[in-house]
């Protein structure tokens, strides 16, 4: 393996390594043991350092970004395929002052790195909007509503104008095609003469005007997509639809100009409306899916409480903070930015950033992480040099991963790259052959038009979006939200499934796992802990006495750390004055008091020893056993002697082992990846269905681990927290549990709203079923074309029957897609 020793950062994730001495046999330095373990296991997969990977990406076309450039994120409406991505990126890069541009139609977002002095955000918005798209700040709710309303308005215009056009065809034009089939002979003769007279021209012009509205308003996104496809020389479904719709429109307009009576505006209307409504249906299903996530909580921090020189407090925007500012953070609040503790001793929950499930004790001089939660007490923090938050860095990492990973073209678009040129060549050849064999110009053009119409991919165009919509619909019924429609194309067979531990395989909530206390002492300890706001104390307070306790011997971490702060942060419950507690003390590593006349201490064993209490050997042994198993052993003493132990931890989710076993049975590697230390993850090393366990890995390290696993095959990441977001975004497919954070949901492709780990199997099943449905729809569409095109080429099919056949095939696709995927 090549030596990739880094001078400034971790060999795996490039986090700072100052103050750490973690190395491997080859001299590579790491920020933590977890990153070293990952590198030892996966470093030989690619045999290149992370900066070499980024350099290779730059060589492939990604540009280096100057330090004085800033990143602007814009939401772009109308970007719905990979050709749009390439077009927008190329146009942005031609703008003066822009150094890099990455777009993703999956997230409808473009990130542009630019010199703010040379080009402003408004200039960038205008540059992209000038291409025919609508670009605006992704935080602009008004513009988003405006875009949604415009989309609905286009569909309404298309349906209303289309109905007016089709009404004329149904009542007047179609009957003349079928003789006296619909009307009596007198009525038929009247209509025929009217359409052959001078009165027909204004009538046809009215239909032409209505069709023009449908084509120009409702069909604008399709025409835009066709233009982009032509500009980038990447044929797609939009181009194929546009060719058929515009050909029928131009032929009909030319026919009116020369005094002909064969107009096929109905074909144009049908093609545009059918495809537009199908795409709109898909987008509304996805919008409904997003609404299901309103219960996910965001953890962004906008304001901070700054302490002035005179001790006064003021609320300021986080963006206004400077290095060495002092901040006051109370229990239940998040630390705004990275810094150092100046005053106070508190317990801090860093799980949102690090993934560590247990609160960490902080005393003066300790570093604290921006975005972490103060669970007990209050603390004064000095702002670090960069005045930045670890949470913000995680956010930036998520966007880097999402923006640099281009969307995948739909299967139908890939087929269109072959089908579009083939249909065009076929139409030209057929028209030429008819002309060379003596047919009239009008007849030859009519046959060529029929070939284009019958080849119109309405069924092909609806095959993917309607099947995807069915997948999203059925997923919603199972409380599964699908954010990205390419999920159903990307997830064929996963080679590796990576599970986060805390909050994914475990509940993420502190509970009493077991205890050897008698019911009376447990009840007294619970009453005492009711006055504590510490997560471990709350878990004990919620415990109900049991008759026989339990046998220790599961798993835990290195002991509880409790917050100081006297009564600040303590929970005063109803009836506290009558709970039998005569006195109460709060310490950074436990609580103590007199309950029903007995002195009770609950906390770390050191708290008991510091008070001179005896800790018998059997209790000390059980405490040590608890520490070795990955959970927190809490000692409980009465009247000078430690009487027993309560084991607290985040318990495993129900059915976790069945889920892992089901995945492992499909010959898929199962990996457990966690920010917790090795002891907390030890239980999974003994699980037969788990192939690898990586513990103590920071968020940046998780993302790099997933990147390396991806080089061994298709990789799926399943997590719940903000610390998982970079890995979720980096994976080929990210699945977030609904109880996690909004950032995790944003980074993922799928969210399990009901927080049921068992739904993971359902995700894979629905993805496979959707893929089968897409292929079935496309198979029918090509079967239809295989029959209809030869008939059109031989002249046995005129444009009217071609349009009817096209409509019938589209109806079949719609009917097939409306069925539940679980029926397959």
Contacts of 732 (CB under 8 A, 6+ apart): 490, 491, 494, 710, 714, 715, 716
Residues of the chain by 3-state class (helix, strand, coil), percent to 5: 50, 20, 35
What integer is the mean pLDDT of 352-379?
72
Strand partners, 562: none
Radius of gyration of the chain (CA): 33
What confidence tier does 402 reach under pLDDT thresholds 50, 70, 90? very low
Strands 98-104 and 109-114: antiparallel
What integer is the mean pLDDT of 729-740?
76
In the chain, what is the straight-line distance between the N-terminal and C-terminal CA atoms, in Å? 48
What confidence tier does 392 reach under pLDDT thresholds 50, 70, 90? low
Judged by average pLDDT, the poorest of 271-285, 477-491, 560-574 is 560-574
Taking the C-alpha atoms of residue 640 and residue 695, their distance in angstroms, rounded to an integer, is 38
What integer is the mean pLDDT of 28-32?
82
Taking the C-alpha atoms of residue 653 and residue 676, their distance in angstroms, rounded to an integer, is 17
Taking the C-alpha atoms of residue 144 and residue 109, their distance in angstroms, rounded to an integer, is 13
Tens of pLDDT along 82-141? 667 778 888 888 899 998 888 766 567 788 889 988 999 899 988 888 877 888 886 666
H-assigned helices in 169-311: 174-177, 185-196, 200-213, 220-231, 237-257, 265-291
**Which sign, positive or negative, has the C-alpha torsion 719, 725, 730, 734?**
positive
For 702, what's the count of Cα atoms within 13 Å in the CB-facing half-sphere?
Answer: 36
What confidence tier does 358 reach under pLDDT thresholds 50, 70, 90? low
Q: What is the pLDDT of residue 55?
A: 38
Catalytic residues: 500
Structure tokens at 692: 């690898």
Q: Are the beta carbons of 5 and 662 closer than 8 angstroms?
A: no
Tens of pLDDT along 443-483? 888 888 888 777 765 666 667 667 777 777 788 778 777 76
Strands 632-638 and 598-603: antiparallel
Length of the chain: 824
**Which sign, positive or negative, has the C-alpha torsion 351, 356, 359, 361?**
negative
Highest mean pLDDT among 82-86, 183-187, 376-380: 376-380
Tens of pLDDT along 595-619? 988 999 998 888 898 899 999 988 9
**Which sign, positive or negative, has the C-alpha torsion 167, 170, 176, 181?**
negative
Contacts of 245 (CB under 8 A, 6+ apart): 215, 219, 222, 267, 268, 271, 272, 456
Structure tokens at 322: 């400077």
Burial of 632 (0-12, 13-18, 19+ CB in 10 A): buried
Distance of CA 787 to the CA centre of its chain: 41
Residue 72 has pLDDT above 70, yes or no: yes
Q: What is the pLDDT of residue 483?
A: 66
- Look at 761 and 2; give whichever has higher pLDDT: 761
């Amino acid at each position: 393996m090549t030596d990739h020793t880094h001078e400034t950062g971790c060999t795996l994730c490039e986090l700072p390594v100052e103050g750490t001495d973690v190395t491997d046999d080859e001299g590579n330095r790491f920020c933590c043991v977890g990153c070293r373990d990952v590198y030892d296991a996966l470093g030989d997969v690619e045999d290149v350092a992370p900066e070499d990977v980024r350099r290779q990406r730059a060589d492939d076309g990604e540009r280096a970004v100057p330090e004085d450039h800033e990143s602007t994120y814009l939401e772009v409406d109308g970007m719905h395929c990979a050709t749009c991505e390439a077009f927008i990126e190329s146009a942005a890069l031609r703008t003066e002052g822009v150094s890099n541009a990455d777009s993703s139609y999956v997230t409808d977002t473009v990130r542009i790195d630019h010199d703010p002095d040379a080009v402003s955000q408004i200039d960038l918005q205008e540059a992209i909007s000038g291409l025919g798209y609508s670009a605006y700040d992704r935080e602009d709710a008004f513009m988003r509503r405006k875009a949604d309303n415009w989309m609905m308005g286009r569909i309404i215009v298309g349906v209303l104008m289309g109905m007016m056009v089709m009404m004329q065809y149904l009542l007047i034009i179609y009957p003349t095609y079928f003789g006296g089939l619909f009307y009596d002979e007198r009525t038929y003769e009247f209509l025929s003469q009217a359409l052959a007279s001078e009165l027909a021209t204004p009538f046809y012009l009215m239909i032409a005007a209505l069709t023009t509205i449908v084509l120009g308003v409702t069909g604008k996104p399709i025409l835009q997509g066709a233009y982009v496809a032509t500009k980038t020389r990447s044929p797609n479904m939009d181009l194929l639809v546009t060719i058929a719709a515009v050909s029928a429109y131009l032929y009909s307009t030319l026919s009116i100009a020369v005094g002909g009576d064969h107009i096929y505006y109905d074909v144009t209307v049908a093609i545009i409306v059918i495809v537009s409504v199908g795409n709109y249906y898909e987008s509304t299903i996805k919008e409904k899916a997003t609404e299901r996530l309103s219960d996910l909580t965001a953890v962004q921090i906008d304001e901070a409480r700054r302490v002035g020189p005179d001790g006064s407090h003021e609320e300021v925007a986080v963006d206004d903070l400077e290095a060495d500012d002092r901040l006051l953070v109370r229990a239940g609040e998040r630390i705004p930015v990275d810094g150092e503790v100046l005053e106070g001793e508190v317990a801090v929950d860093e799980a949102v950033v690090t993934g560590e499930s247990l609160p960490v004790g902080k005393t003066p001089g300790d570093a604290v992480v921006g975005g972490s939660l103060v669970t007990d007490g209050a603390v004064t923090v000095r702002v670090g040099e960069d005045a930045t938050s670890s949470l913000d860095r995680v956010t930036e990492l998520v966007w880097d991963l999402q923006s640099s990973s281009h969307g995948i073209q739909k299967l139908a678009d890939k087929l269109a790259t072959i089908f579009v040129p083939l249909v065009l060549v076929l139409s030209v050849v057929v028209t030429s052959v008819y002309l060379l064999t003596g047919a009239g110009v009008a007849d030859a053009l009519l046959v060529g038009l029929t070939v284009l119409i019958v080849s119109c991919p309405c069924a092909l165009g609806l095959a993917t979006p309607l099947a995807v919509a069915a997948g999203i619909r059925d997923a919603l019924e199972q409380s599964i939200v699908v954010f990205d429609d390419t999920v159903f194309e990307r997830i064929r067979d996963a080679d590796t499934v990576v599970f986060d531990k805390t909050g994914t395989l475990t509940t993420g909530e502190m509970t009493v796992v077991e205890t050897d206390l008698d019911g009376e002492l447990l009840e007294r300890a619970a009453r005492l802990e009711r006055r504590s706001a510490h997560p471990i104390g709350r878990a004990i307070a919620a415990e109900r006495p049991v008759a026989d306790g339990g046998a220790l011997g599961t798993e835990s971490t290195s002991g509880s750390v409790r917050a100081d702060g006297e009564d600040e942060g303590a929970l005063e419950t109803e009836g506290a004055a009558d709970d039998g507690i005569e006195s109460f003390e709060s310490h950074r590593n436990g609580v103590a008091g007199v309950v029903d006349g007995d002195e009770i201490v609950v906390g770390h064993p050191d708290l008991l020893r510091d008070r001179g209490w005896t800790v018998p050997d059997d209790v000390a042994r059980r405490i040590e056993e608890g520490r070795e198993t990955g959970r927190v052993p809490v000692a409980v003493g009465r009247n000078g002697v430690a009487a027993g132990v309560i084991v607290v931890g985040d318990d495993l989710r129900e059915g976790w082992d069945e889920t892992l076993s089901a995945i492992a049975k499909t010959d898929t590697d199962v990996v457990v990846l966690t920010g917790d230390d090795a002891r907390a993850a030890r239980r999974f090393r003994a699980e037969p269905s788990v192939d690898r366990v990586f513990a103590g890995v920071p968020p940046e390290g998780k993302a790099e681990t997933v990147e390396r696993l991806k080089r061994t095959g298709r990789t799926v990441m399943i997590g719940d927290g903000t610390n998982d977001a970079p890995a979720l975004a980096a994976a080929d497919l990210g699945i977030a549990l609904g109880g996690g954070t909004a950032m995790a949901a944003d980074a993922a492709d799928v969210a399990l709203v009901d927080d049921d780990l068992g739904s993971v199997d359902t995700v894979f099943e629905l993805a496979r079923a959707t893929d089968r449905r897409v292929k079935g729809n496309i198979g029918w569409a090509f079967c239809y074309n295989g029959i209809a095109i030869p008939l059109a080429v031989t002249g046995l099919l005129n444009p009217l029957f071609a349009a009817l056949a096209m409509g019938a095939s589209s109806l079949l696709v719609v009917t097939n897609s409306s069925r539940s995927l679980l029926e397959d």
